[in-house]
Amino acid sequence: MADGDLKPSDADPDIEGEDDLPALPDLKLLENDYVRVFACVTTFERALVFEDTLEMFARTADEIGAPGVAKKLRAGFKALQKDGLSDKQQREILNPLRTMVLNKAKRFGKARFAQIAVRHVDQAETIPKYLWDSAKWLMES
């Protein structure tokens, strides 16, 4: 499984050599009877933010001491409950929330943020398709 980061999202451009990363391999070339590649097009944190994961992230924000972020995530969830929202309107609500979750994770520490979020995973009601597809492939193999 891989996310779509072109370079680490927490890379520091002021560190010498930080932008001199090797070219990304074409992971699809690794596929065979025993290896499949499942990837998304964006960074992992953004890929996880859906209507049905907002409460998980709101509780995470509460726990790390970011009540303002938690409040905005819950307001976003409430806004998404309106009937008849177009896909564009849903994206307009979710995209800033995705950025907010990513930024909070980067400031707090992505690994530590994930460790807190997993405590609240019971609040998530969906996962990104590429994660589901990878789990399904493993179970069928």
Domain ranges for the chain, please list them. 27-140
* Highest-confidence segment of 9-13, 24-28, 71-75: 71-75
Phi-psi region of 58 (alpha: psi -120 to 50; beta: other; left: phi over 0): alpha
Phi and psi for 66 in degrees, rounded to 5? Answer: -125, 65
pLDDT, position 8? 55
pTM recorded for the entire structure: 0.80
Residue 10's pLDDT band (boundaries 50, 70, 90)? Answer: low
Residue pLDDT, tens place only, 58-101:
999 999 999 999 999 999 999 999 999 999 999 999 999 999 99
